[in-house]
Amino acid sequence: MSTFDAVELIRTKRDGGRLQDAAIDWLIRNYTDGVVSDEQMSAMAMAIFFRGLDGTELSRWTNAMIATGERMDFSSLSRPTVDKHSTGGVGDKITLPLAPLVAACGAAVPQLSGRGLGHTGGTLDKLEAIPGWRASLSNAEMLDQLESVGAVICAAGSGLAPADKKLYALRDVTATVESIPMISASIMSKKIAEGTASLVLDVKTGSGAFMKTYADSKSLAETMVGIGTDAGVNTVALITDMDAPLGRTAGNGLEVAESVEVLAGGGPADVVELTLALAAEMLACAHIDADPAAVLASGRAMDTWKAMIRAQGGDPNAPLPTARHTEVVAAEADGYLSGLDAMAVGLAAWRLGAGRAKQGDPVQAAAGVTWHASVGEWVRAGQPLFTLHTDTAERIERAREALVGAARIEDAPAARRPIVLERISVG
């Protein structure tokens, strides 16, 4: 590998220049190995934050991150592989019903997931509310489960794009997390290294999303679709609404229970709608001719869910944990619920113990928020609007504070905007 001067590379990007392919390879490898210092990579991250990366630079940056670790190989499977990634939101439990549904339609769904941080929940935290369920699997266990069950939701191994873990920690403490090129490279390096043939991206937009504006969400979606396509992964994205939280619950065990309702043929309409929309995209990418709504109604997705949970040591029939303390927040007026602030609900759930402030903090399996009306529904003064759940009673007051003004109640009904706002693909 050629040798470069880190200071010269920083200067090049700072001044708006383009980084050579070999320079990017050298920089990422040597930062991962500790040759390039945190101070130098911090300066580069800030230069990229302001100057960006063009399409060629970004593809090379992503590939260089992938090259620091292993790439998984699912070519031995008898099923076509397809994965989904969400940029995260409040009440976003879609992976839980979606993975078994798409598997029940004939695909293999290798869903490598993460843990929550801040106001957005983590899929692994949710599933760990199920007694006995384990997140960590070996590559051999993953392959066996994908072949026999069709779906696996587990933790990503440390061998996938180790450069990303180191670089993300650096960005987190240098105010460079919001860089669209670096967000895109972070997400796509792990997804491409994961080895799936097709990928559907759920890019959230709105108050409860990482990207608050539609323009930023669309830019992120287009950038990630471009990276995936360049890498030979069949990639599409849906931009979806996160002004209001999804479903009726935010919190780990609460969201598992709601997901099981969906698999049983019920559940909130918005969760069902988005699950089916993403399933249709995933099946199209995998060239599988199946009707996900019919498969959901047949009960086959529920069977796959139970098999998936059992395969990872969990008991799908065991009761989920319940909080030691609950408190109801009542509606203050008659009227239509015209808005529900997703960020406020997520913050309340976090304060109740459903989320963590920093990596490694414990979470409460039973903590969270239930809301008893969806946007557009009529509510009466005094009726329960929220129920707060926690094992720690002293957390309730600050959670209530987070919900002040979160629900807008008005005289006239206001329709919620569509769940799926736009589809992004190449060509």
Q: What are the average pLDDT values for consecutive 10-residue runs of the chain, which has 427 residues?
A: 88 97 97 95 96 95 95 94 94 96 97 74 91 94 96 88 89 87 93 94 93 94 95 96 95 97 97 98 97 98 98 97 97 94 94 83 93 95 97 97 96 86 91
6-52 fold = 1.20.970
Question: Which token pair is 269?
Answer: 């309409």
Which residues are CB-contacts of 114 (< 8 A; sequence separation ≥ 6)? 122, 123, 124, 155, 156
The one catalytic residue among 25, 83, 92, 164: 164
The one catalytic residue among 60, 84, 85, 115: 85
Domain ranges for the chain: 6-52, 82-157+167-317, 325-410
Per-residue model confidence (pLDDT) at position 158: 75
Which residues are CB-contacts of 269 (< 8 A; sequence separation ≥ 6)? 374
Sign of the C-alpha dihedral, residues 261, 266, 267, 273?
positive
Cα 52 to the center of its chain, rounded Å: 24
- Known catalytic membership, residue 76: no
Architecture of domain 325-410: Alpha-Beta Complex (3.90)
Q: Tell me which CATH code domain 82-157+167-317 carries.
A: 3.40.1030.10
Which residues are CB-contacts of 70 (< 8 A; sequence separation ≥ 6)? 157, 159, 160, 193
The one catalytic residue among 93, 126, 166, 190: 190
Question: For the whole model, what pTM was predicted?
Answer: 0.94
Per-residue model confidence (pLDDT) at position 39: 95
- Known catalytic membership, residue 190: yes
- Known catalytic membership, residue 198: no
The one catalytic residue among 171, 191, 248, 351: 171
- Known catalytic membership, residue 164: yes
The one catalytic residue among 186, 207, 259, 338: 186
Give the Cα separation of 258 and 368 in Å (integer): 13
- Known catalytic membership, residue 119: no
296 in Cβ contact with 267 (< 8 Å): no
Q: What is the DSSP letter of 208?
A: T
